[in-house]
Amino acid sequence: MKLRNQEIWLAYSNLAKVWKLDLPAKTSLDISYILSKLQTPYLVIENERKKLIRKYGVLHPDGKQISVDPGSENEGDYSREFAEVLVSEWPDEFEFEKVKVQSSIIDANTLLPLREKILEVEEV
């Protein structure tokens, strides 16, 4: 299966949240397997995001944090370039089965980016 970078970027952090829940051992293992497949692509995408923040962000007065000013021209450039990263397809195929989970244990926002390709939700 092919995935777009946005699907990977959204799925990884949300799937990591699901993995931390009290799950049956086999479900937890299956999710761990998918996380391991998504981890490298996720880190590549996240590094690109951080690089763009360093390029277009400004240093806070505390000298520790860099962020992109909302409503600025820099925000426009950052958003466009990061969107170009996210809209691209990851070059490699992913091979994993959807993992069955119960909908009652996961909140809707976490579930949303996982429903289509990663998790098979069983309504209880």
Partner 1 sequence: MVTEQSTIYSTIPMQIFMINSIKKPIIDAVETLSSSDASKIDKVKAARKLWKAVHLISKMPEPTLESTWHPNSHNLIRLRDWLFERCFLGQKRMGLIRRLMNFVIILYDFDPPWRWVMDSLKDKAFEMEWKPKGYEDIRVYEWWKE
Binding site for partner 1 (CB under 8 A): 4, 6, 10, 70-71, 73, 75-80, 82-84, 86-87
Given the complex with partner 1, which of 16 and 75 has the nearer CB atom? Answer: 75
Given the complex with partner 1, which of 27 and 74 has the nearer CB atom? Answer: 74
Q: What are phi and psi of 121, to 5 degrees?
A: -90, 130
Taking the complex as a whole, the smallest distance from the CB of residue 118 to partner 1 amounts, in Å, to 15
Given the complex with partner 1, which of 65 and 79 has the nearer CB atom? Answer: 79
Distance, in Å, from the CA atom of 49 to the CA atom of 81, rounded to the nearest integer, reads 9
Distance, in Å, from the CA atom of 122 to the CA atom of 59, rounded to the nearest integer, reads 46
Taking the complex as a whole, the smallest distance from the CB of residue 39 to partner 1 amounts, in Å, to 20
